Amino acid sequence: MNAKIIIDLINGDKFFSLNRLAAGTDIEFSCPIEEYNAYLNQEAIKSQDDMVAVTYLLRERSAGAIAAYMSVIADAIKLSAAEKELHNLDYPFKTLPAMKIAKLAVAGSFKERYRGIGSYMIDLAAGIATETYRERFACRFVTVDADIEHDQGVVAFYAKNGFVRNTEMNSKKSKTVNMRKDLFIKT
Ligand SMILES: CC(C)(COP(=O)(O)OP(=O)(O)OC[C@H]1O[C@@H](n2cnc3c(N)ncnc32)[C@H](O)[C@@H]1OP(=O)(O)O)[C@@H](O)C(=O)NCCC(=O)NCCS
Give CA–CA dist 55/19, Å, rounded. 9
Q: Specify the higher pLDDT residue, 187 or 96.
A: 96
The 10 Å CB-count burial string (b at 16+, else e) for 16-50 is bebeebeeeeeeebebeeeebbebbeebbbebbee
Domain presence at residue 134: yes
Is ligand 1 within 6 A of the CB of residue 125? no
Which residues constitute the domain of residue 14? 5-182
Residue 170 within any structural domain of the chain: yes
Cβ contacts of 8 within 8 Å, gap of 6 or more: 116, 119, 120, 123
Q: What is the CATH number of the domain that holds 104?
A: 3.40.630.30
- Cα-Cα-Cα-Cα torsion 170, 174, 155, 35, nearest 10 degrees, comes to -140
User: Cα(152)–Cα(157) distance, rounded to whole angstroms?
Assistant: 10
In a domain, 57, yes or no: yes
> Count of domains in the chain?
1
Q: Closest residue (by CA) to atom 9 of ligand 1?
A: 118
User: Does residue 187 lie in a domain region?
Assistant: no
pLDDT digit string, tens, across residues 1-33:
679 999 999 999 999 999 999 999 989 999 999
Whether residue 139 has its Cβ less than 6 Å from ligand 1: no
Which tens digits make up the pLDDT trace of 31-76? Answer: 999 999 999 999 999 999 999 999 999 999 999 999 999 999 999 9
Beta strands at 54-60 and 16-20: parallel, antiparallel or unpaired: antiparallel
Distance between start and end Cα atoms, the chain: 44
Lowest mean pLDDT among 2-6, 84-88, 107-111, 167-171: 167-171
Answer for the pair 66, 55: CB distance below 8 angstroms, yes or no: no
Angle of CA points 182, 36, 4, to nearest 5° = 70
Q: How far is CA 64 from CA 11, 12, 60, 87, in A?
A: 17, 14, 5, 40
CA of 157 to the centre of ligand 1 (A): 5
> Which of the listed residues 124, 157, 158, 176 should we mutate to test ligand 1's pocket, taking the one with most ligand atoms within 8 A of CB?
157
Q: Would you state the pLDDT for residue 111?
A: 96
User: Tens digits of per-residue pLDDT, 145-186?
Assistant: 999 999 999 999 999 999 999 988 777 778 999 999 999 987
CB of 122 within 6 A of ligand 1: the answer is no
